[in-house]
Each structure stands twice: as structure tokens, then as C-alpha cells.
Amino acid sequence: MKKALLTLTALLSLTLLRAQYPGSQYLPLVEDGSVTFRLQADKASGVQLFGDFLPGVNEYRLGGHVEMTRNADGLWEYTARGLAPDFYYYYFEVDGVRVLDPHNLKLVCNYSEFYNSFLVPGEGSRRLEQAGAPAGTLVTHWYDSPEYGGQRRLNVWLPAAYDASRRYPVLYMIPGGGDDEDTWTDMGRLPQILSHMCASGEAVPMIVVLVNAMPNQWAAPHILDPIPGAKSHFELMRTPQGASGGEFCNDLVRNVIPFIEQHYSVRGDRDGRAVCGVSMGGVYELYLLEHRSDLFSHVAFMGSGMMDAAPDAADAALRPLKATGYSLMWIGAGSEDMALSSARNLMAALDRNHMPYTYYDSGDGHNWRSWRRDLQQLLPLLFR
């Protein structure tokens, strides 16, 4: 009886909600590159819309905002026009208080904050849409990590029709500062991109491992609280150990890679492993390659590179990788990226050491729009 009453109450609430906001009145309405937002806030004196598609965004595509106005129905409204096909995110501020859109259930997390999201369809966003069959599968695991004093969380993307009788190459993704094991699935649309590109034959079927590189986390902050007593990411980055990523690299080598190779049918050879670091993750990746260049034959950097341009230090960091050789060196840094100078330092060092590489300019800044483009350029080159 109690369950039936709760169900009836939920249905009545939903009916009242639909009556209050008929049809698509309250949802972001996407039409021909225009998107209309509406919010009911009867007592508000002002409502602002914040989004990565609005004027005034910084290189992270954050901070852009506009004032909303009341429409004839008393709802706060704004229409953004001329949006290119892509994936976007937003939130509201009601009298200075941050508020999510209560009628848009599409949420993503970035820098430990939630945002609403929407997609403008078109050729430019085709690979960002949810793929139909065949689509890959995302699996979450917890693994033992003595380096961090507990169990850590990671995500594994498996290609469609994963077959344990065959062995797959593996791509290990190292996220940037403030990001975690979920950010590539939320902001990066990695499962959608991979599903489309593997189904079309543009990418080799592979397994992708999404790890958490934050030094004060066992898991994404919406999953588990930070490690008790641990310093923040920004405090640790000011220490030699935190800046190098030595602790993270030890965790990856000693725990993550063995865990994946124990639980999945993967190639255990160097040519069957790739690593890609984004922003801070690229700094950690350089440390990893300097100390364990024997593990990876395919290497990629997104919005990252060498912060130290001194030739002696740069050449020393690359010496192990030059000695072992590699199949692919790929660097992505947009023309507006704050890390472009670091990417140029890396490319100068590679040129000086006669080490070939591929460079891609997304034309954007230090943000997920750029890195989604990077991923689509990188995937066709891996494991060929």
C-alpha cells in the first residue's frame, strides 16, 4: 500500500510538473543551431546563464555568461544562436546563486562541479552522439593501490562484441589537473567517439583505461570523499614529487597495468600499449616515459609538453625513449592553448634529437572542446 501511494504521489507530481511546463517549454530547445533556455524563478530579481558557448569565456571555455529576461509567460529566457554542431554545457545563477537546470537530466562533471549539457546535432558532432549498435561498454573497477593507501577507482572502455579469445591493444589515458576517472566519459565523450570510430573502421578495436591522477583522491569526488589528510592537488604540484607524478606513475606501473592485464584479454607487449596525457597528465607522462620507456610504443600528449626548455634537461628526459624507439609520437595543442609553449618546447627537443612526431592544432584553447577534437585525430593513428 505504501509503495502504491508513493508511486501515485510521484505520478501526480510529474503531471503537475508537465502542466506547469508544457511540452519542451522548460527544456533547452535545440533548433537549427539555436538553443533556447527557460527557467522559472518567480521571485528572482536577476538570472544569468553561464555556458561554454557564451561571450567572455576564458581558454578553459569557462566564465562566459549573459543576462536572461522574462518572457510573456513569466519565465526567464535566453536564446543562443549560430552554435556549431558540438557538445556544450551550462548552468544558471539566480540572484548570484549557482543553480542547475532542474528539467535537464543530462549532467556532466568537470573540475568537481556539475553542469547541464546538450548537443547541437550535425556532421561536426556526429561522433559525439550516443552510438547505436554496435556500441562499446564502460566498466568500473576498484583496484588495490598501496601507493595511495587504499582502493582506487578506474573505468575501462571495451569495444563492441569484446571477445576474450582475442587480444586487444590498450590505451591508458592520464587526465589533467582537477579531472578524474569520469571526466573523459563526461566532458570528453570518449565512449561515444570510440564507439563510432571503431564501428566505422576508423579506429582499431582497443581497450581504453581511464585512471584518476589526482594525488588526493581514491575516486571522483562525487563518488568518494578525498583521502583524509591528503594535500590538495595544487599544494602537491608545488613539491618535486607531486610535480613529477612519481607516486602516480608507480601506481600505474605496479597496480593499474597488472590489474588490466590480469582481468582482460590484452596484448602484453610494448607495441600493444599506448599512453596519452592531458595537461598535467602529460607532465606525469614525461616522468613515466623517462623511467619506463620500455612499456609504451604509442605516445600522445594533449595540451601539454615540457615546461623546462633547457636543452640539457629536455634531452635527458627524452634519452630513454629515443633509445627504445617508438611507433608513434603525437602532440595536440591548439593555437589558443596556454600550454602551447610547453608543446613547442617538447617539439623543439624532439627536433633536436631527430625524433619524429605528428602535431595537430585544434584551433582552440586548454579545454575539452579541443581535447575531443584531439582524440578524433589521434585514434586512427594508434596500433596501425
Query: In this predicted structure, what is the pLDDT of residue 3?
Result: 41
What does the pLDDT average to over 44-48?
98
% of the chain surpassing 70 pLDDT: 91
Query: In this predicted structure, what is the pLDDT of residue 163?
Result: 96
d(CA 262, CA 158): 15
Q: For 131-190, how does the pLDDT look when each residue is reduced to its tens digit (9 = 90+)?
A: 887 899 999 999 999 999 999 999 999 999 899 999 999 999 999 988 999 999 999 999
Q: For 64-119, how does the pLDDT look when each residue is reduced to its tens digit (9 = 90+)?
A: 999 999 999 999 999 999 999 999 999 999 999 999 999 999 999 988 899 999 99
Report yes or no: 364 and 355 within 8 Å, Cβ to Cβ: no
d(CA 49, CA 56): 12
Q: What one-letter code names the amino acid at 378?
A: L
For residue 368, which phi and psi values (nearest 5 degrees)?
-75, -25
Q: For 299-335, how does the pLDDT look when each residue is reduced to its tens digit (9 = 90+)?
A: 999 999 998 878 999 999 999 999 999 999 999 999 9
pLDDT band at 241 (very low <50, low <70, confident <90, very high): low
d(CA 121, CA 14): 28
**How crowded is the C-beta side of 322, counted as CA atoms within 13 Å?**
14
Strands 207-210 and 298-302: unpaired
Q: For 30-39, how does the pLDDT look when each residue is reduced to its tens digit (9 = 90+)?
A: 999 999 999 9
| Neighbouring C-beta atoms of residue 10, cutoff 10 Å | 10
Q: Which domains does the chain have, with CATH numbers?
A: 23-121 (2.60.40.10), 130-381 (3.40.50.1820)
d(CA 37, CA 362): 29
